[in-house]
Amino acid sequence: MSDYRPPVRDMAFVLDTIVDLDDLTALEPYSHVDRDMTAGILDEAGRFFGEVFAPTNRVGDEVGAQYADGSVRTPDEFKPVWNKLTEAGWTAVTGSPDFGGHGFPKAIGIAVSEMMTTGNLAFSLAPMLTGSAISLLERHGDDELRDHYLAKLISCEWTGTMVLTEPEAGSDVGALRTKAEPNDDGTWRINGTKIFITWGDHDLADNIIHLVLARTPGAPPGTKGISMFLIPKFLLDDDGNPAERNTVETVSIEHKLGIHGSPTCVLSFEDATGYLVGEENKGMRYMFTMMNQARLEVGLEGLAVAERAYQQAAAYAKDRKQGRAPGATETSPIIDHADVRRMLMTMKSLTEAMRSLVYDAVASEDRALHGTDETTRLAADQRLALLTPVAKAWCTDRGVDVASLGVQVHGGMGFIEETGAAQHYRDARITPIYEGTNGIQAIDLVTRKLPLEDGAVVNAYLDEVHDTVEALGNHPEFSSMRDELSAALDTVRKATERLAGAEDIQATLAAATPYLEMFGYLAGGYYLARQALAALPESNDPWMASKIATADFYASHLLPKVHGFAPSVGADASLVFSVPDEHFGTAR
Amino acid sequence: MSDYRPPVRDMAFVLDTIVDLDDLTALEPYSHVDRDMTAGILDEAGRFFGEVFAPTNRVGDEVGAQYADGSVRTPDEFKPVWNKLTEAGWTAVTGSPDFGGHGFPKAIGIAVSEMMTTGNLAFSLAPMLTGSAISLLERHGDDELRDHYLAKLISCEWTGTMVLTEPEAGSDVGALRTKAEPNDDGTWRINGTKIFITWGDHDLADNIIHLVLARTPGAPPGTKGISMFLIPKFLLDDDGNPAERNTVETVSIEHKLGIHGSPTCVLSFEDATGYLVGEENKGMRYMFTMMNQARLEVGLEGLAVAERAYQQAAAYAKDRKQGRAPGATETSPIIDHADVRRMLMTMKSLTEAMRSLVYDAVASEDRALHGTDETTRLAADQRLALLTPVAKAWCTDRGVDVASLGVQVHGGMGFIEETGAAQHYRDARITPIYEGTNGIQAIDLVTRKLPLEDGAVVNAYLDEVHDTVEALGNHPEFSSMRDELSAALDTVRKATERLAGAEDIQATLAAATPYLEMFGYLAGGYYLARQALAALPESNDPWMASKIATADFYASHLLPKVHGFAPSVGADASLVFSVPDEHFGTAR
């Protein structure tokens, strides 16, 4: 039995109110999609991921991926579920119809991905990384590579990996040293050792397609001299089937805090045969094209682990009886205690805010790809660029917070591994780190995204928030929410202006994370307010009334955090740099 | 080799500036203590806990306490260190000289405890719980119990436990069902099963002295019908030596998220022989007398795990090179990157604020016990009562935050267990839960501590903060710190008044945690400001200048968080209660 029930109605509500799915599916490539079809997909996915996929989560943690004799073995429960997953086509929802995909909008794909990720975060990384490989090949692979690999990746008969990191090249990818030298037949010989390769080896699929960053002879230093290679675990025979083993060795896997079901591999390439993707020295540029997508998917992981932790805590709080709440005549379920309920409201409202943020960003990606005109597409692309680091960092930091609250709601039982709440706390912790640490996201936001179009992109988004403030003003019952959102918007506007005017790059960098935090909390309040506005006409429906109550809670309890970050944005960088190195940590 | 270097100078600085140790040691029972002696103790303790005790931390996590055949076995490395610990008398620093203790102030004891706890949190719980048993016996045991048990507990030849929790009686201790029936010889027969017993069994000491809560025949229901019994693992022979095994069985130990070195036991008492401590039905009252101490010690654990995580992150950030900081001509250690340095400043300033808060509260305990007159003692006791829930909850929540930042500073390496950063993140998570969840601390603060003397106790503390605002005003270089502290104080004062005037108990309970959070952040800013004021005359010393810089950072980056909690304090409780149960977690 799974303890995860996909919140299909919540997802559909966000697709309706935040994404505006009717508007999106009016776009040409999505004209085959309608409301009924979407509802059907969500329901069917909800059953599959709740009943079939999610039950693998505990065993994935407890048994984990195992390494022996050069190979990775996944828990026994994974393979049959993987087969059902791929056979049902759940990994191909957004894939190109030219290669067997279903061609749905990414905004619908993200809802399915949410269920997969909440069902089993560690397991979901295999299709997630495969999706990144698909994106790269779709955009940058030549016809031959696309023909040979794309359909098998879209169906997840084969999986893909992203092979970037080396021991001395983590956040600084440009420092990598793996070498690629040309063979006479147009292929390349790759040599080097790579670390932190998620699902770098496993026993689920017939082949594993590595997309590897390496340097060719005479390449310029840094990120400008990096090329991308496709290196299959098994080379293909003339019929395109996996045949000879390529010289990619799995050296070891890591012993990690969480996501035990996901093998994190050290891979050694020893004269491995690779195929150049696109042109030489453009590897980093290509990586950036799929980076928005990958970062949004990690943002989604923050939401997913939060949703799982929240559902588990809510179920426990309804079941566990302890003490008497004021006015109660017998022992109360702990959900009746105000402080426990406050924690659950925090978890609920943050999770729902995250869902809106991630889905909204993904919808911008759809519109950037398929908007009706160039101006619309560019605006959507820039909006996506702005929201991506926020969605990645804010949602993953909040995912850690919510998972931590989930442990707290369980009290002493939360600290016992068998309860399962601790797994979410452990799993969540990787998400602020990988796919660009949250510090890097914040730096991306303040140094690259805020300056877009001289600030017009961020201002357009803040104007959206302003429109919602105005809309709230039309309803007396939302006056408190309006005031809080308006005040938070004002604080973020001022901080944005201070950063735009900052001359000291160090001050900007030191303010990056506090700024991203305030932006994220504002965005959360904005989306929940839009949900409240959408729910208002139907507020006789208790479910809709709860949406309004959730937005009210957030506006009063969480949105004001925005103001706490204000003094550190635009502050003198010396506040961060005045303590000399030797006084950190070991002063006696 | 240990990676922990006790911050002896920081500790001495807090004892000097916050505790006012000269004033404290002027009190009668501490007249044998002087500055040189204190410095000597701290230095010697620093060597022992840094070089001998702290290196047991990793093995304690990796091997952990093991259970087999009804007994708990600790890691092999523990026993020799335990012997050195007890032989050197480090567990007896504050113990009564009448029973072999050294009679030092608790404020000095807490510094030694900090080193022990930072050295190995899991291991430190054995002496910590023993300390609680000592307190209870000192105050409530009769002469016979004191004579038989106290000296052996103070020397830690034997250890003590607190045996409260049952499956249905966690936070609600009053629901417990363990029974005690009188024997003819004045002893009692105890029957029941207890869970979550920290160090409930082990192989380090010759005896284990359980202090067990149970009900006697005809006892009133709830907390008013609970009595306390001393139940030794081994009954004593006529010479007072451990002899016959008592019928206390270790049923199992828990598989926990963290503190693996500390066995968490299920104990079964089957006609076990026990001795009544004090009078019947006063067990809960007795527990409360040692609760301040135990809660402060758990607050100390938040500080300790933060200190350990901070030291490790700082060392890594100085060593790990990645990317170039602005202006750098070669690869920079990551401590040079503004966002990493911001994280380290956050860790540093929070840790130093926590140290001041915990030491200050403990010093109030010393003054409550030994102040020169009744008025002083009562005021100190009430100040201690006020600060205890804040120190417990705020420091443990911040301990989790700092440990999480410690993982983040390490990037991908932080998620690998061998790095050790993850252990702190796992270990820290129990501290907001045990010894009264942080929600219970917050409720204690707003419902029992704020009303003390009609608010005069909290106002006296806020007046202290005000005095520091005034003192900052005398120094132009502190004008920004003054403004932030003043604004934060104003916000907390208003929230305090709103709570005092609140009529709806649910609104008060819903606001409890946000209020405790804002109070804690204010207290942190207050203490660091006092440190800055004390450092000012010596600011030519770079170490002292760093104290000022740390306070400046906190005032700008962390203290303003106070304002973010304001709207939820005194808000309508309906914000927390408007969503019906069925819309939590599983709505479809």
Tens of pLDDT along chain B (588 residues) come to 348 999 999 999 999 999 999 999 999 999 999 999 999 999 999 999 999 999 999 999 999 999 999 999 999 999 999 999 999 999 999 988 998 899 999 999 999 999 999 999 999 999 999 999 999 999 999 999 999 999 999 999 999 999 999 998 988 999 999 999 999 999 999 999 999 999 999 999 999 999 999 999 999 999 999 999 999 999 999 999 999 999 999 999 999 999 999 999 999 999 999 999 999 999 999 998 888 889 999 999 999 999 999 999 999 999 999 999 999 999 999 999 999 999 999 999 999 999 999 999 999 999 999 999 999 999 999 999 999 999 999 999 999 999 999 999 999 999 999 999 999 999 999 999 999 999 999 999 999 999 999 999 999 999 999 999 999 999 999 999 999 999 999 999 999 999 998 889 999 999 999 999 999 999 999 999 999 999 999 999 999 999 999 999 999 999 999 999 999 997 788 899 999 999 998 743
**Token representation of residue A106:** 């990414």
Confidence class of residue A384 from pLDDT cuts 50, 70 and 90?
Answer: very high
Residues forming beta bridges with residue A268, ordered by sequence position: A193, A249
The residue annotated as part of the active site, out of A297, A435, A484, A517, is: A435
CB contact under 8 A, A587 and B514: no
Q: Does A425 touch chain B (CB under 8 A)?
A: yes
Q: Which residue has the tokens 């409530």?
A: B140
pLDDT at residue B540 in the model? 97
CB contact under 8 A, B567 and A557: yes
Is the distance from CB of A122 to CB of A129 less than 8 angstroms?
no
Backbone angles phi, psi at A288, to 5 degrees: -65, -30
Q: What is the separation, in whole angstroms, between the first and last Cα of chain B?
A: 55
- State the pLDDT at residue B1: 36
Q: Which of B7, B416, B426 sits opposite A254 (nearest CB)?
A: B416
Assess A31–B contact: CB distance below 8 Å, yes or no: no
With 0-12 / 13-18 / 19 or more C-beta atoms within 10 angstroms meaning exposed / middle / buried, residue B505 is middle
Shortest CA distance from A484: residue in chain B = B567
- Say if the Cβ atoms of B510 and A342 lie within 8 Å: yes
Q: Identify which of A418, A506, A556 has the shortest CB distance to residue B255.
A: A418
- Within 8 A of B10 by CB-CB distance, chain A residues are 587
Interchain proximity A412–B432, CB inside 8 Å:
no
Q: By the CB < 8 Å criterion, does A186 face chain B?
A: no
Please name which of A451, A81, A339 lies closest in space to residue B447, comparing C-alpha atoms: A339
Helix (H, G, I), strand (E, B) or coil at A540: coil
Chains A–B, number of C-beta pairs less than 8 Å apart:
300
**Between B422, B434, B506, which is nearest A326 by CB?**
B506
Distance from CA of B64 to the nearest CA of A (A): 14
Q: Are the Cβ atoms of B339 and A442 closer than 8 angstroms?
A: yes
Task: List the beta bridge partners of residue B272.
Answer: B190
The residues, any chain, with a CB within 8 Å of residue A577's CB and separated by 6 or more, are: A506, A510, B338, B341
When CB atoms are compared, the residue of A314, A439, A575 closest to B339 is A439
Kindly identify which residue of chain B lies nearest to residue A10, measuring between CA atoms: B588
Render pLDDT for A387-414 as a digit per residue (tens, 0 to 9). 999 999 999 999 999 999 999 999 999 9
Contact across the interface for A545 and B170, Cβ inside 8 Å: no
Q: Does B479 touch chain A (CB under 8 A)?
A: no
Give CA–CA dist A73/B53, Å, rounded: 39
Q: Do A585 and B314 touch (CB under 8 A)?
A: yes
Q: CB-based contact (8 Å) between B498 and chain A?
A: no
Question: Which of B324, B498, B579 to probe by mutation at the A interface, max A CB count within 10 Å?
Answer: B579
Query: Taking a contact as any Cβ pair under 8 Å apart, which residues of chain A between 58 and 87 contact chain B?
Result: none
Beta strands in B278-360, from DSSP E residues, in sequence order: none
Cβ(B557)–Cβ(A567) under 8 Å? yes
- Which residues from A are below 8 Å from B7, CB to CB? 587-588
Distance CA A582, CA A586 (A): 7
Closest by Cβ to B561, choosing from A338, A510, A564: A564
Look at residue A586 in the predicted model and tell me its pLDDT.
72
Chain B positions in Cβ-Cβ contact with residue A5 (cut-off 8 Å):
586, 588
Q: Is A176 on the interface with B (CB under 8 A)?
A: no
Q: Who's near B36: CB < 8 A, 6+ residues apart?
A: none
Give B442's contacts in chain A (Cβ within 8 Å). Answer: 339
- Per the CB < 8 A criterion, the answer to whether A557 and A345 are in contact is yes
Which residues in chain B have their CB less than 8 angstroms from residue A580's CB?
542, 546
Nearest to A552 among B323, B422, B575 (CB): B575
Enumerate the active-site residues of B. Answer: 435
Is A415 in the B-facing interface, judged by CB distances under 8 Å?
yes
Q: Please report the pLDDT score of residue B573 as a whole number.
A: 86
User: Any CB–CB contact under 8 A between B116 and chain A?
Assistant: no
Dist CA A354 CA A392 (whole Å): 10
d(CA B588, CA B586): 6
3-state secondary structure of A279: coil
A578 contacts B552? CB cut-off 8 A: yes
Q: Find the radius of gyration of the CA atoms of chain A.
A: 24
Percent of chain A with pLDDT over 90: 93
Q: Which residues of chain B are within 8 Å of residue A562 when distances are taken between CB atoms?
A: 564
Q: B565 and chain A: CB distance < 8 Å anywhere?
A: yes
**Confidence band, pLDDT 50/70/90 cuts, at residue A289:** confident
Condensed to tens digits (0 to 9), the pLDDT of residues A462-517 reads 999 999 999 999 999 999 999 999 999 999 999 999 999 888 999 999 999 999 99
Kindly determine whether residue B407 and residue A433, on different chains, have CB atoms separated by under 8 Å.
yes
Which chain A residues are closer than 8 Å to B580 by Cβ? 542, 546
A540 shares contact with chain B (CB less than 8 Å):
no
Q: Do B509 and A438 touch (CB under 8 A)?
A: no
Q: Which of B543, B571, B580 sits opposite A583 (nearest CB)?
A: B543
Hey, is the C-beta of B562 within 8 angstroms of any chain A C-beta? yes
Q: Per residue in B361-387, pLDDT tens?
A: 999 999 999 999 999 999 999 999 999
Subunit contact B337:A576, Cβ cutoff 8 A: no
Distance from the A493 Cα atom to the nearest Cα atom in chain B, whole angstroms: 17
Q: How far is CA B325 from CA B333, B336, B340, in A?
A: 9, 6, 11
- Residue B513's contacts (CB-CB under 8 Å, 6 or more residues apart) are A339, A342, B393, B438, B439, B442
Closest by alpha carbon to B571, among B499, B517, B521? B499
pLDDT digits (tens, 9 = 90+) for A126-158: 999 999 999 999 999 999 999 999 999 999 999
Closest in A46, A171, A411 to B411, CB measured? A171
Q: For chain B, which residues make up each domain, given as ranges?
A: 449-574
Nearest residue on chain B to A170, alpha-carbon basis? B322
Quote the DSSP letter at residue B453: G
Q: Do B400 and A404 touch (CB under 8 A)?
A: yes
Q: Which residues of A touch B564 (CB under 8 A)?
A: 560-564
Residues 6+ apart with CB under 8 A from B238: none
* Closest approach of A212 to chain B, Cα-based (Å): 19
Which member of A257, A348, A563 has the closest CB to residue B417? A257
Q: What chain B residue is nearest to A575 in terms of C-alpha separation?
A: B553
CB contact under 8 A, A557 and B545: no
A192: left (phi over 0), alpha (psi -120 to 50) or beta: left
Interface membership of B88 toward A (CB under 8 Å):
no
